[in-house]
Chains A and B, each alone.
Chain A
Amino acid sequence: MQRIGVFVCWCGSNIAATVDVEAVSEALKLEPGVVFSTNYQYMCSQAGQNIIKDAIAEHKLTGIVVCSCSPRMHEATFRKTAAAAGLNPYMVEIANIREQCSWVHKDVPTGTEKAIILGKAAVAKVNLNAPLIPGETPVTKRALVIGGGIAGIQTALDIADAGFPVDIVEKKPTIGGKMSQLDKTFPTLDCAACILTPKMVDVAQHENIRIFSYSEVEDVKGFVGNFDVTIKKHARYVNEAACTGCGACTEKCPQKKVPNEFNLGMDNRRAIYIPFAQAVPKVATIDPNYCNMLKNGKCGVCAKVCAAGAIDYTQKDEYIQEKYGAIVVATGFNPISMDKFDEFAYNQSKDVITSLEFERLTNAAGPTAGKLLRPSDGKHPHTIVFVQCVGSRCDAKAEKGKEYCSKICCMYTAKHAMLVKDKYPDVDVYVFYIDVRTPGKNFDEFYRRAVEEYGVHYVKGMVGKVVPEGDVLKVQASDLIANKQLHIDADLVVLAAAIEPDKSARPLATKLTASMDTNDFFTEAHPKLRPVESPTAGVFLSGACQGPKDIPETVSQAGAAASKVIGLLAKDKLTGNPCIAHSDEMMCNGCSTCERVCPYGAITYMDKEFRMPDRTTAIRRVASVNPAVCQGCGACTVACPSGAMNLRGFSTQQIMAEVDAICK
């Protein structure tokens, strides 16, 4: 028989205002096995924990029930308290009478009744609890960073600097991500390439970093400290080790009509290409969709001009297997498609562009060599209209757009407006905004400079429609402050398109068993206190894959993710979770159902000899759980038709006892 102590927490007034804590501790005193019951204002405080420790010693408790907040909040706290008093930490049960009781009920009688029932269930469970000892698993001291933008680059550099090997997997032929496409960066207007490319070089030269460019994560198995990852390296038809990046092939390739994705299709590249001059690795890649040699075997010019003999038309996709202790997701973002926003005429006029396209238009390495020229006729624009919040802050039920604020648009539009006025003071610049959101160091000052020093016309209101007419864009918009409808003949319209997570994020989340929100942003383990960790142990988040972010924020988060990874890799062994599945071999009928449902591949089958009646033996096929791999999800215990699978700490008997206690 257990000797159980019950500790009811008031949580200040959080619980005590809706639950009669005295009544709860009195009622639970009468439950079987309970030898001690009390209540206290803050059980998690030092004084509260001492009450528990003293009671364990004084009443020789073998199990305790804490009626308090969610176990997600303080289960670990109370387990440590119990362990400090010499009690096995798995003899602690939490009855959640805050989130699931006091916070959802309004009147004291209902709250108290429910709190007593939840307490009874926990007592019933502790009566069947047994001490559990967690196992230990080794840690592979190598990290994987998925995505080679500024988030991935910074995370990799920080981990590598701490002395751990890091691999970066980047699906494009070069690292650099969106930041490599930007012109200047707010709020200081330093050039993106000038601050990014040195970091890219650092990555390339770091002895602890390997770059798998033009590669994707194919498969992920295992668990924290011990991930088995398959990386698919796409064939680039160029031997990376031999290519010197001289660029001779990219000049001689006769296939000149390939839309250049680096410039967002605003100019063309060749079928063999290096995305941009500072690419890392600086290696050519053949685009198999356009290469004449790969498509119909006629050409071979690049192979002829390559002095290094690096061209290899027979190259195949390669699969690399590697073990990692930690995985950082840094898959970034993309602007949303403007296809559904017909009112802005994006698909009707070349002179209606997105902000990212505008970045390329003002960039010295862009399609116009940094001269601001209209994409349609190459003329200098005199009136430019910027439209904010295109597809951001939309109704959840709307057919187009996103519900969230994309966060970066206010600032980059202020930057664009300022850059235009700086180079071409004669240009009239209008910015249509709903709100100007500039929380950030030196951000509002930056926006005010655009208005006060540069004379950008900020108009509170929204553009209703854009109609191309001749060589102008007729912009109709509202000016809410003047209570007027404005009609502007613009030469260029720039849409601040909402941003969304990269399309590769959702399938990746499935492979990692990491959770996402409805917008496909990765969910953090705690929105305030664990912002760079995914709820899946060993998976960390860096940059815009977790939510819209600017560069300063991305870099801080990248460093935070790196520090979490370093903390993990610095350990030699990880304490496992003892609440894992085990099979009762006498009941197992070897049907393999559990093996099929196990998401971690923790279950195998083996033939085992059993003694049968009449001194005979029989060989039977039975399930066996690998304790290092099992994560205790419980899928097998539900699937097992004969009830042979059980979860330690959450056995069928324990859960049924809880249900019985609630229904009694």
Chain B
Amino acid sequence: MSSNKKFLQEELTRMSGVNPKKCMKCGKCSGTCPAYDEMEYHPHQFVSMVESGDIEPLLNSKSLYRCLTCFACVDRCPRGVEPAKLVEAVRLVAVRKQGANHMTANDVPAMLDDDIPQQAIVSAFRKYTK
């Protein structure tokens, strides 16, 4: 595994507190996931891809934003792996990354409506000005 991959892997396990090595590959997380059909990579794949260091595809996948963080997988995982926490960590890495934004801060005002929470607007500016 390259040092970059290794760094990312360690970063993810540290941030999430998830140890992907505990996974016994039973697939119960994906069996229980309500957003399964919306996702390109499913909960068990998040765990196994982080474990093997194959993280780049996850960072670029829309699956990241399909996870509802309902924690059904966390509740039911027999090995206590907590896949949703790992998805959350991958999401954080993607969000914190500089560049690779799919829009700029200038695009934000046009997208605003009354329903968007204040916090989301502030976050969007923070993210897209990077």
List the interface of chain A (C-beta within 8 A of B).
Answer: 343, 389, 393-395, 397-398, 401, 432, 434, 460-465, 476-480, 483, 485
8 residue pairs A–B, Cβ–Cβ below 8 Å = A394-B78, A434-B24, A434-B27, A460-B27, A462-B26, A464-B72, A480-B27, A485-B30
**Given A394-B80, A432-B31, A465-B76, 11 further pairs, Cβ under 8 A:** A343-B75, A395-B77, A395-B80, A464-B28, A464-B33, A477-B31, A478-B27, A478-B36, A478-B44, A479-B27, A485-B31
Residue contact A465 to B32, C-beta cutoff 8 Å: yes
Residue of chain A at shortest CB distance from B30: A478
Tell which of B26, B30, B42, B78 touches A398, judged by Cβ atoms closer than 8 Å: B78
Q: Which 7 pairs of residues, A with B, have the shortest CB-CB distance?
A: A464-B32, A464-B31, A462-B28, A395-B80, A478-B31, A478-B27, A478-B30
Report which residue of A461, A464, A476, A480 has the largest number of chain B beta carbons within 10 angstroms of its beta carbon.
Answer: A464
B56 at the A interface (CB under 8 A): no
Contact status of A461 and B27, CB under 8 A, knowing A480-B44, A485-B37: yes
Q: How far is the CA of A434 from the CA of B25 in the complex (A)?
A: 7
**Chain B nearest CB: distance from A460 CB in Å?**
7
Q: How far is the CA of A480 from the CA of B43 in the complex (A)?
A: 11
Residue contact B78 to A480, C-beta cutoff 8 Å: no
Tell which of A395, A432, A434, A479 touches B22, judged by Cβ atoms closer than 8 Å: A395
Q: How far is the CA of A343 from the CA of B27 in the complex (A)?
A: 15
Tell which of B27, B72, B79 touches A394, judged by Cβ atoms closer than 8 Å: B79
Q: How far is the CA of A398 from the CA of B74 in the complex (A)?
A: 11
Residue contact B27 to A389, C-beta cutoff 8 Å: no
Query: Which chain B residues border A478 with CB–CB below 8 Å?
Result: 27-31, 36, 42, 44
Q: How far is the CA of A343 from the CA of B28 in the complex (A)?
A: 11
Query: Which chain B residues border A394 with CB–CB below 8 Å?
Result: 78-80
Query: Which chain A residues border B79 with CB–CB below 8 Å?
Result: 393-395, 398
Contact status of A462 and B80, CB under 8 A, knowing A395-B22, A478-B42, A485-B36: no
**Chain A nearest CB: distance from B42 CB in Å?**
7
Residue of chain B at shortest CB distance from A344: B76
Q: How far is the CA of A434 from the CA of B26 in the complex (A)?
A: 5
Q: How far is the CA of A258 from the CA of B109 in the complex (A)?
A: 71
Query: Which chain B residues border A389 with CB–CB below 8 Å?
Result: 26, 78
**Chain B nearest CB: distance from A437 CB in Å?**
12
| 20-52 of chain B: CB within 8 A of chain A | 22, 24-33, 36-37, 42, 44
Tell which of A395, A462, A465 touches B27, judged by Cβ atoms closer than 8 Å: A462
**Chain A nearest CB: distance from B59 CB in Å?**
20
Contact status of A483 and B42, CB under 8 A, knowing A434-B26, A464-B30: yes
Q: How far is the CA of A224 from the CA of B122 in the complex (A)?
A: 77
Q: How far is the CA of A255 from the CA of B37 in the complex (A)?
A: 54
Contact status of A393 and B78, CB under 8 A, knowing A462-B31, A480-B44, A485-B33: yes
Query: Which chain B residues border A398 with CB–CB below 8 Å?
Result: 78-80
Report which residue of A434, A461, A478, A483 has the largest number of chain B beta carbons within 10 angstroms of its beta carbon.
Answer: A478
Residue contact B78 to A395, C-beta cutoff 8 Å: yes
Tell which of B31, B72, B78, B80 touches A461, judged by Cβ atoms closer than 8 Å: B31
Report which residue of B31, B77, B79 has the largest number of chain A beta carbons within 10 angstroms of its beta carbon.
Answer: B31
Query: Which chain B residues border A395 with CB–CB below 8 Å?
Result: 22, 77-80
Residue contact A397 to B30, C-beta cutoff 8 Å: no
**Chain B nearest CB: distance from A469 CB in Å?**
15
Query: Which chain B residues border A461 with CB–CB below 8 Å?
Result: 26-27, 30-31
Query: Which chain B residues border A401 with CB–CB below 8 Å?
Result: 78
Residue contact A464 to B24, C-beta cutoff 8 Å: no
Residue of chain A at shortest CB distance from B43: A478
Q: How far is the CA of A423 from the CA of B24 in the complex (A)?
A: 35
Query: Which chain A residues border B28 with CB–CB below 8 Å?
Result: 462-464, 478
Residue of chain B at shortest CB distance from A400: B78
Q: How far is the CA of A373 from the CA of B93 in the complex (A)?
A: 53
Query: Which chain A residues border B27 with CB–CB below 8 Å?
Result: 434, 460-462, 477-480
Q: How far is the CA of A397 from the CA of B26 in the complex (A)?
A: 18
Q: How far is the CA of A479 from the CA of B76 in the complex (A)?
A: 17
Q: How far is the CA of A343 from the CA of B26 in the complex (A)?
A: 15
**Chain A nearest CB: distance from B14 CB in Å?**
19
Q: How far is the CA of A479 from the CA of B75 in the complex (A)?
A: 20
**Chain B nearest CB: distance from A211 CB in Å?**
41
Residue contact B25 to A480, C-beta cutoff 8 Å: yes
Q: How far is the CA of A385 from the CA of B72 in the complex (A)?
A: 21
Q: How far is the CA of A397 from the CA of B37 in the complex (A)?
A: 31
Residue of chain B at shortest CB distance from A391: B78
Contact status of A463 and B31, CB under 8 A, knowing A397-B80, A401-B78, A478-B44: yes
Q: How far is the CA of A461 from the CA of B29 in the complex (A)?
A: 10
Query: Which chain B residues border A465 with CB–CB below 8 Å?
Result: 31-32, 72, 76
Q: How far is the CA of A343 from the CA of B33 in the complex (A)?
A: 12
Query: Which chain B residues border A460 with CB–CB below 8 Å?
Result: 27
Query: Which chain A residues border B26 with CB–CB below 8 Å?
Result: 389, 434, 461-462
Q: How far is the CA of A479 from the CA of B78 in the complex (A)?
A: 17
**Chain A nearest CB: distance from B74 CB in Å?**
12
Query: Which chain B residues border A463 with CB–CB below 8 Å?
Result: 28, 31
Query: Which chain A residues border B32 with CB–CB below 8 Å?
Result: 343, 464-465, 476
| 52-106 of chain B: CB within 8 A of chain A | 72, 75-80
Q: How far is the CA of A479 from the CA of B37 in the complex (A)?
A: 13
Q: How far is the CA of A480 from the CA of B33 in the complex (A)?
A: 13
**Chain A nearest CB: distance from B24 CB in Å?**
6
Contact status of A480 and B24, CB under 8 A, knowing A394-B79, A395-B80: no
Q: How far is the CA of A131 from the CA of B79 in the complex (A)?
A: 55
Q: How far is the CA of A499 from the CA of B128 in the complex (A)?
A: 55
Q: How far is the CA of A477 from the CA of B22 in the complex (A)?
A: 21
Tell which of A343, A393, A397, A432 touches B24, judged by Cβ atoms closer than 8 Å: A393
Query: Which chain A residues border B42 with CB–CB below 8 Å?
Result: 478, 483, 485
Query: Which chain A residues border B80 with CB–CB below 8 Å?
Result: 394-395, 397-398
**Chain A nearest CB: distance from B79 CB in Å?**
5
Q: How far is the CA of A476 from the CA of B32 in the complex (A)?
A: 7
Query: Which chain A residues border B30 with CB–CB below 8 Å?
Result: 461, 464, 478, 480, 485
Q: How far is the CA of A309 from the CA of B129 in the complex (A)?
A: 95
Residue contact B31 to A476, C-beta cutoff 8 Å: yes
Q: How far is the CA of A462 from the CA of B22 in the complex (A)?
A: 16
Query: Which chain B residues border A393 with CB–CB below 8 Å?
Result: 24, 78-79
Query: Which chain B residues border A477 with CB–CB below 8 Å?
Result: 27, 31
Q: How far is the CA of A465 from the CA of B34 in the complex (A)?
A: 10
Query: Which chain A residues border B25 with CB–CB below 8 Å?
Result: 434, 480
**Chain B nearest CB: distance from A400 CB in Å?**
9
**Chain A nearest CB: distance from B2 CB in Å?**
26
**Chain B nearest CB: distance from A181 CB in Å?**
27
Q: How far is the CA of A432 from the CA of B44 in the complex (A)?
A: 16
Q: How far is the CA of A146 from the CA of B27 in the complex (A)?
A: 41
Residue of chain B at shortest CB distance from A434: B26
**Chain A nearest CB: distance from B43 CB in Å?**
9
**Chain A nearest CB: distance from B66 CB in Å?**
13
Query: Which chain B residues border A483 with CB–CB below 8 Å?
Result: 42
Q: How far is the CA of A394 from the CA of B79 in the complex (A)?
A: 5
**Chain A nearest CB: distance from B102 CB in Å?**
26
**Chain B nearest CB: distance from A483 CB in Å?**
7
